[in-house]
Amino acid sequence: FSRALKPVASVAVQNGAKFSTTSQKNFKVVVAGAAGGIGQPLALLLKQNSLVTRLALYDIAPVTPGVAVDLSHMDTPAQVTGHKGPEQLAAAVECADLVVIPAGVPRKPGMTRDDLFNTNASIVRDIADCVAKNAPKAIMAIITNPVNSMVPIASEVLKKAGVYDPAKVLGVTTLDVVRAAAFIGEINCVDPTTVKIPVIGGHSGVTIIPVLSQSCPAVNLTDQGKIEALTKRIQEAGTEVVKAKAGGGSATLSMAYAGARLACAVLRGLKGDSDAVECAYVKSDLTEATYFANPVQFGPNGVEKNLGYGELNDYEKELLKAAIPELLKNIKTGENFANK
Ligand code: NAI
């Protein structure tokens, strides 16, 4: 059994040419913040992913080892380990291929994602620092809000440690895509899993730009007012959940689903699949904002190709114009924090 967990690498000889192929199908994934509202269902979903053979659950909460024991009783291959407290973080991330980070506090009614900055910035900084020292080649996928600022923080920490690779740090914006597809599915009366819709920019308020003009199938709305209302609903969908939970937190289950989907795309890229595409918030030179979300293709080293955001209509161009100053501000806040 343990042999089955080892990476499979081979050198093939064809027509006299030598080339390497990797067919690794066994990855170590870490969830940092694994005992939380997102972390637990995310771990549950990752335990069912056949590409995950080691699943390390890290949190500061006392229940963490118990969550690991609980999941370890599932009859799927991933070996689950629990790691509680900062002194166990290094062991959790060692040899990781992917570290997914939902550690930190969520919003309560009336709060913006930026209100979480003071608490969550140091949490993400410290986890990134530990990853830099103990798993410098791991891909980091950050769920913690405000995502727009957390990705620059992690990037600056990795830069300082001399191990920064922009292809390996990403902000998880998949939930915005999932929500957009769910709402369009409802409007069009079609199975939402068949809807393809890019959501670009960032992950908060006006920085969330659903590119409805590129929806496939086309959104069944002709009235511009209705397009704008749908855009607003996608931008404010997180707040819709925060209000409905009435103080009990923000989106957790749909986020876990979205996080597992993103993780799956990253792992499929690492494995060598050529069609692992999702939107993610990454280092970018497409706009003035140095980090920007849009569809990217994952490969053996993380983000392999930035697929850009294609043609925007006039309304979407206006949305982009409104998003850029906010993104620039969020990015600066993150970078200033990391470099202070
Ligand atoms: P939660 O409070 O239920 O869970 C957070 C977990 O992080 C807790 O188990 C806590 O013990 C742990 N934690 C706190 N400090 C830690 C540290 N220093 N090291 C390791 N673990 C630590 O919160 P929830 O609902 O799971 O949300 C987590 C984060 O995800 C929030 O910042 C929230 O805003 C964000 N979020 C992001 C979304 C996105 O689309 N990117 C969507 C929804 C939430």
Q: What is the pLDDT of residues 287-322, one digit of tens each?
A: 999 999 999 999 999 999 999 999 999 999 999 999
* DSSP conformational letter for 216: B
3-state SS class at 287: coil
Q: Which of 105, 108, 112 to mutate to test the pocket of ligand 1 (most atoms within 8 A of CB)?
A: 105
Q: 327, 330, 287, 283: which is closest to 302 by C-alpha?
A: 283
How many of the other CB atoms lie within 10 Å of CB of 97? 22
The tokens for 220 are 């069944």
Residue 184 counted as an annotated binding residue: no
Q: What does the alpha-carbon distance between residue 175 and residue 203 come to, in Å, rounded to a whole number?
A: 9
Q: What does the alpha-carbon distance between residue 112 and residue 107 come to, in Å, rounded to a whole number?
A: 7
Evaluate if residue 216 carries a pLDDT over 60. yes
- Is 120 near ligand 1, meaning CB less than 6 Å away? yes
| pLDDT mean across residues, the chain | 93
Measured on CA atoms in the order 65, 66, 67, 71, is the torsion positive or negative? positive
- 23-27, 138-142, 163-167, 234-238: least confidently modelled range: 23-27
DSSP H or E stretch at residue 147: helix 147-160
Interface pTM, i.e. ipTM:
0.99
Ligand 1 centroid from CA 213, angstroms: 33
Cα 163 → chain centroid = 20
- Is 38 near ligand 1, meaning CB less than 6 Å away? yes
User: Per the omega criterion (within 30 degrees of 0), is the bond before 146 cis?
Assistant: yes
Angle between helices 314-339 and 147-160 (to 10 degrees): 40
- Largest Cα span, the chain: 66
Would you say 157 and 132 are in contact if contact means Cβ atoms under 8 Å apart?
A: yes
Q: Which of 93, 119, 179, 255 to mutate to test the pocket of ligand 1 (most atoms within 8 A of CB)?
A: 255
Question: What mean pLDDT comes out for the span 159-183?
Answer: 98
- Is 144 near ligand 1, meaning CB less than 6 Å away? yes
- Residues 6 or more apart whose Cβ sits within 8 Å of residue 329: none
- φ, ψ for residue 170 (rounded to 5)? -140, 150
- Is 32 near ligand 1, meaning CB less than 6 Å away? yes
- 17-26, 37-46, 313-322: least confidently modelled range: 17-26
Task: Give 244-292 pLDDT, tens digit per residue.
Answer: 999 999 999 999 999 999 999 999 999 999 999 999 999 999 999 999 9
- Is 33 near ligand 1, meaning CB less than 6 Å away? yes
Residue 261 counted as an annotated binding residue: no
Would you say 133 and 158 are in contact if contact means Cβ atoms under 8 Å apart?
A: no
Task: Look at ligand 1, atom 34, and give the residue with the nearest C-alpha.
Answer: 106
Q: 142, 193, 194: which is closest to 334 by C-alpha?
A: 142
83 in active site: no
Ligand 1 atom at minimal distance to the Cα of residue 107: 34
DSSP H or E stretch at residue 119: helix 117-134
Task: Give 185-215 pLDDT, tens digit per residue.
Answer: 999 999 999 999 999 999 999 999 999 999 9
Q: What does the alpha-carbon distance between residue 52 and residue 41 come to, in Å, rounded to a whole number?
A: 15
Which residue(s) pair with 326 in the sheet? none
Residue 143 counted as an annotated binding residue: yes
- Is 115 near ligand 1, meaning CB less than 6 Å away? no
Q: What does the alpha-carbon distance between residue 25 and residue 15 come to, in Å, rounded to a whole number?
A: 27
Evaluate if residue 239 carries a pLDDT over 80. yes
Would you say 127 and 101 are in contact if contact means Cβ atoms under 8 Å apart?
A: yes
At 91, the amino acid letter reads A
Would you say 53 and 5 are in contact if contact means Cβ atoms under 8 Å apart?
A: yes
Measured on CA atoms in the order 323, 169, 198, 28, is the torsion positive or negative? negative
Q: Which of 60, 114, 173 to mutate to test the pocket of ligand 1 (most atoms within 8 A of CB)?
A: 60
Candidates 28, 203, 268, 271; catalytic one: 203
The tokens for 71 are 């999941």
Would you say 228 and 315 are in contact if contact means Cβ atoms under 8 Å apart?
A: yes
Would you say 340 and 223 are in contact if contact means Cβ atoms under 8 Å apart?
A: no
- Is 104 near ligand 1, meaning CB less than 6 Å away? yes
